[in-house]
Chains A and B, each alone.
Chain A
Amino acid sequence: MKTIIVACGGGIATSQTVAVKLENLLADRGLRGSVSVEAININSIPTYIKSADVYVSIAQHGEAQYDIPTFSGIPFLTGMGAEDEFAKILTALGEG
């Protein structure tokens, strides 16, 4: 099982919305069973980052850098560029 973590600043509502959108996109490709998506508070990243394969960020770019592939969650909020960003995430997961 691969893991995507999604974090937004402070609250969790935005990251959960993006997480569900990612889950739906994964389901469309039959990957729902092989990739899990977790919405977390930005302060929890250090705890979760070790077991995650991909980090989808909704907080400010450049706030902190992590050693795993990091992508923007914003396209999944605006709809603009969502397919491109999702394709990159799949490639990073080795599912592209």
Chain B
Amino acid sequence: MSTVASLLHPDFVRVGVRAASRDDLLREMADQLLARGTVEPTFADALLAREEKFPTGLPTAVMPVAIPHTDPEHVNESFLSVARLAEPVTFHQMGANAQTVEVELVVMIALADATSQLTTLQSLIGMFSDTETMEALKAAPDADALFAIIARTIS
């Protein structure tokens, strides 16, 4: 199995996700990973604390994204969890905490090792500045289509 395939699982790539707040959303996504045992019970709190201190909202040309993540010690098995939201959720902006962004796509990065997936991370970050791919992610009709675009982009 390739590195990329091991980072993506169809259950962790969803569209139409609804959440009342950023914290509700992050906790729901973290709980889903916890239910599969890919993260430790400490993951959710660590993720939320980190998001508070070092926010991860990023404006991009097509739609604002967020890349919540935390330290590898809270992760058992590396996965991305992707949620395209039914309604935007307010995040604070990375590098400019006072500013907020209305996030439409969340890519939670749960890595068991901070450095071994660097190439994948670069491809992922590169995806955010690729207008064509971002338009495709925004327009993808369902989770399968979203999964296929991300898998192709980061492989």
Contacts and interface: CB of A to CB of B under 8 A. Distances in A.
Interface in B67-116: 67, 69-71, 93-97, 109, 111, 114-115
Contact of A74 (B94, B109, B115): B94
A12 B125 contact: no
Interface string A1-45: 000000011111110110011000000000000000000000000
B95 A61 contact: yes
A79 B96 CA distance: 16
B129 A59 contact: no
A: contact size bracket:
20 to 34
Given A59-B54, A60-B95, A78-B59, A16 B118 contact: yes
A80 B114 contact: no
B24 interface: no
Contacts of A20: 118, 122
Contacts of B71: 10-11
A58 interface: yes
A8 B128 contact: no
A61 B55 CA distance: 12
Q: Which of A11, A20, A59, A73 has the most CB of B within 10 A?
A: A11
A74 B58 contact: yes
Nearest to B99: A61
B36 interface: no
B59 A60 contact: no
Given A11-B71, A59-B54, A60-B54, A74 B96 contact: yes
Contacts of B60: 78-80
B132 to A, nearest CB: 12
A77 B92 CA distance: 15
24 contacts: A8-B54, A9-B53, A9-B54, A10-B50, A10-B70, A10-B71, A11-B69, A13-B109, A13-B117, A14-B69, A17-B122, A17-B125, A20-B122, A57-B95, A61-B95, A74-B58, A74-B93, A77-B128, A78-B59, A78-B61, A78-B129, A79-B61, A79-B129, A80-B60
